[in-house]
Structure 1
């Protein structure tokens, strides 16, 4: 019931640099943090008390606060595990749409959504919204991508197309691990300028390319391997099979497809997957699935030799091969 407060406290402490200050400077009082950051000390104290109650920060007998050591990587803007941008997306975008659930219960999703813009018309409505969304997706994807590219074993792959690859989180991880690899991100045209920034920052040159397009209207570029990271969870089963059949046509004999998604356990957990499954209901047209359900989609599209590779994060890999 009180998660509403702890999530907003988490977001505001990150937004105003409280966590970064505590991580850099060590245990200190709310008053000193407030003075350093130029914010109100009483409001900060109340926020920190909430965060201490849910063990995000720790408070000692003298009233000094520090970030819980196990959570510091997730709250440090300089760490690959940082989640501040994603929390901001949840607070500023997702929560604004949760009221739709009431209408869904009363009238059904199809009837309500017929009166609303298409999902990515809202997500990519302007440059600022696009940038915020891509930042959130980078934070969800980049840290785990290092492990996922290792699990994918791409040593024999020369060309990879990352479908809906956004600003290149998975592409960058793959390029860094496999020097023989060239990666093309296929995404909507609005994403192109942001991928250009990634290419320039990483000095990848022509190893990192961009092909603008709409995967509902256009064929996918050919490659040895095609990857879908947090893409199929945006769409219903029939659409997923259509996209996977396009991937089947695009990859050569012996090629493969990588699906990188949160996975439901057979008992319906974990909480993060269940919560994001609800988010998918209001923000997209999709859902999260079990590994068996993704395997079934791959097989319906023609892929075989399907395998599941679980990471130590929330995002996992389901792989299929074209015979």
Structure 2
């Protein structure tokens, strides 16, 4: 029953993010229910506003002093850090995308399973990313969503991976450049290139300026279906391989292999599914999300990754746990 009604709790949180309740409370510190109701223009009864805010309190997103008309609401510590849109630690971009795109699309999961076709904006024959990249607003939302969900894993990789024998890093499908920025920040000797389609470069350059790392992080543009990858000591892909079918995964890994020197490192940062396929529920759900988004993409286990890596010619494979359900699958040339 808890899972079956999970969309109730989900929509309460997603709507609060959309209304920017947490960002407003971060600025004003505390507000009453009537103040929040007036600020947001709610027309529902006061009782339902109390219920809505108290549900967020029961979930742990808000703190409350008083009750009903006398209640004052404020952010919990974690909410203030992660869900205030004005802070660099904001991870709500993915929640925004869940609300604006995926909430409705997942309502068609049955159709996706029956037909094997994507259930998103893409019409038959179109590519999801071409569609997204053609709409600047949706592209920015997608980029911020990916940055939010990947930040913790990228920070962990930048601190845990052995960079001592490398000087250059190439991040394929680098989006806003967060992985390159985290590596450059934690590894002062590294020069990084974030590589993506031309439409993404302005967003990445904006992030590079914000971090003041223009001297060691640069953007480069290309299409990984058409172009070879630039040479680098380390090639990374953050949540790239899972977008595609097995044939495309192999093609991308082969291009990474060709871009590396002997002893070079390829790193795939993904929600690697455990070998028993019964523990990393997020990885399994993300794989189903690839059905919704692409029709043929899927997440995978380390054994899957090792099979592909050996087929291409990599000589050793290992896994490095990062943050939450995310790990780095590592292959050495």
So what's the TM-score if we normalise by structure 1? 0.89
Q: Offset of 1:296 from its aligned partner? A: 2.4
What residue ranges of structure 2 are gaps of 5+ in the alignment?
none
Q: Offset of 1:19 from its aligned partner? A: 1.8
Instruction: Provide closer, same or farther for how the CA distance between residues 176 and 119 of structure 1 changes in structure 2, counting only shifts above 3 A.
Output: same
- Partner of residue 19 from structure 2, selected from 16, 19, 43: 16
Q: Offset of 1:290 from its aligned partner? A: 1.9
User: Which is worse superposed, 291-300 or 216-225?
Assistant: 291-300
- Partner of residue 67 from structure 2, selected from 62, 84, 92: 62
Instruction: Provide closer, same or farther for how the CA distance between residues 75 and 111 of structure 1 changes in structure 2, counting only shifts above 3 A.
Output: closer
Instruction: Provide closer, same or farther for how the CA distance between residues 73 and 201 of structure 1 changes in structure 2, counting only shifts above 3 A.
Output: closer
Q: Distance in 2 between matches of 1:295 and 1:102?
A: 32
Q: What residue is the counterpart of 2:41 in the other structure? A: 39
- Partner of residue 5 from structure 2, selected from 2, 5, 19: 2
Q: Deviations over 1:230-273 (max 9, x none)?
A: 00111122211111111111001111111111122224333322
Q: Distance in 2 between matches of 1:72 and 1:2?
A: 27
Q: How does 1:1-323 map to 2 (within 5 A)?
A: 1-23=4-26, 28-35=31-38, 37-40=39-42, 42=46, 44-59=49-64, 62-63=67-68, 64=71, 65-79=73-87, 81-109=89-117, 115-265=124-274, 266-284=276-294, 285-322=296-333
What residue ranges of structure 1 are gaps of 5+ in the alignment?
none
Q: Offset of 1:28 from its aligned partner? A: 5.0
Q: Deviations over 1:94-134 (max 9, x none)?
A: 12323543333333338998825211122223111111111
User: Which is worse superposed, 6-15 or 247-256?
Assistant: 6-15
Q: Distance in 2 between matches of 1:110 and 1:144?
A: 27
Q: Distance in 2 between matches of 1:76 and 1:141?
A: 17
The count of aligned residue pairs is 321
Mapped contact 2:119–2:292 kept (Cα < 8 A): no
Mapped contact 2:118–2:292 kept (Cα < 8 A): no
Instruction: Provide closer, same or farther for how the CA distance between residues 193 and 111 of structure 1 changes in structure 2, counting only shifts above 3 A.
Output: closer
Mapped contact 2:173–2:238 kept (Cα < 8 A): yes
Q: Distance in 2 between matches of 1:102 and 1:249?
A: 40
RMSD over aligned CA atoms reads 2.6
**3-state SS of paired residue (1:143):** helix
**3-state SS of paired residue (2:126):** coil
Q: Offset of 1:73 from its aligned partner? A: 3.1
Q: Offset of 1:200 from its aligned partner? A: 2.1
User: Which is worse superposed, 121-130 or 155-164?
Assistant: 121-130
Instruction: Provide closer, same or farther for how the CA distance between residues 178 and 110 of structure 1 changes in structure 2, counting only shifts above 3 A.
Output: closer
